[in-house]
Amino acid sequence: MYQVFISGLPYTASENDVQALFEDCGEILSIKLPRYQDSNRLLGYGHITFNDSDAIQKALALNGSQLGGRYIDVKEAKGTQPQKTGVPPPECLTIFVKNLSYDLNADQIGDSFRPCGKVANVRMVYNTVTKNFKGFAYIDFEDHQSVIKALQMNGKKVHGRQVQVDFDVKNPKAGYRYQPKQIEQQSKYNKEYQEIQKKKIKKEKVVQKVKKIKNFAETQKQISAQRNKQQI
């Protein structure tokens, strides 16, 4: 992730103002400028994510530049360099991937890591309020060697963004489960989705069977009632 931290921004500045200052440095992937909730004015700092390391160097050269009458500070953001991963335990079959593009789906993520080995499942994480993808996911593999290979993807680009990859040995928290809208969009890399569909089909069959039994019983009841009337 190629990112710089900027501070000293004028409170009245906008994302467009910041973009105009840094657009010649290289391709900008995102600009995040926190704001006050009450006034919607800038807090005076933010982060800019670029597509490559060359852009970072050009952005750092703008340290001390003026924007809206104020001199701004530009520094390389902490934690932007990929961290070396540890050694996953033999039973580990899962990796955790961060900084994924927000417009990706499970198939695209799974396909990106398929060269590492057979992908069993892709669990994308969504915002519980907006239902939007948060840019990170869990990927389960069929075997441990696939995890070892996948860890070598740490710092590599996936669909234009430098991702951070690490192994995971814990079960995802409850907040990491699929959101209803996204479940319907999952496909070949989603075991949970397949299980949900099987349970759904099984439940529908049971419901249909119960309806048939009820209809049959109701029909027999009506026939019996008609016979009783005829005998009277």
Supply the pLDDT for residue 20: 94
Supply the pLDDT for residue 181: 47
User: What is the C-alpha separation between 65 and 48, in angstroms, rounded?
Assistant: 16
Task: Report if pTM > 0.75.
Answer: no
Name the β-bridge partners of 157. Answer: 162
Asked whether the predicted pLDDT for residue 185 surpasses 60, the reply is no
| pLDDT tens digits along 51-93 | 888 899 999 999 999 999 999 999 988 765 555 557 888 889 9
DSSP letter string over 70-122? Answer: EEPEEEEPTT-SPPPP-PPPTT--EEEEES--TT--HHHHHHHHGGGS-EEEE
Torsion of CA 46, 52, 54, 60, to 10 degrees: 10
Q: How confident is the model at residue 180 (pLDDT cuts 50, 70, 90)?
A: very low
| pLDDT tens digits along 5-14 | 999 999 999 9
Q: How confident is the model at residue 196 (pLDDT cuts 50, 70, 90)?
A: low
Asked whether the predicted pLDDT for residue 177 surpasses 70, the reply is no
User: What is the C-alpha separation between 44 and 46, in angstroms, rounded?
Assistant: 7
Q: For tokens 């996936």, what's the residue?
A: 158
Give the burial class of 148: count Cβ atoms within 10 A of its Cβ; 0-12 exposed, 13-18 middle, 19 or more buried.
middle
114 torsion bin: left (phi>0), alpha (psi -120 to 50), beta (else): alpha
Mean pLDDT of the 4-23 span: 93
Largest CA distance in the chain: 104
Asked whether the predicted pLDDT for residue 200 surpasses 80, the reply is no
| pLDDT tens digits along 210-219 | 888 888 888 8
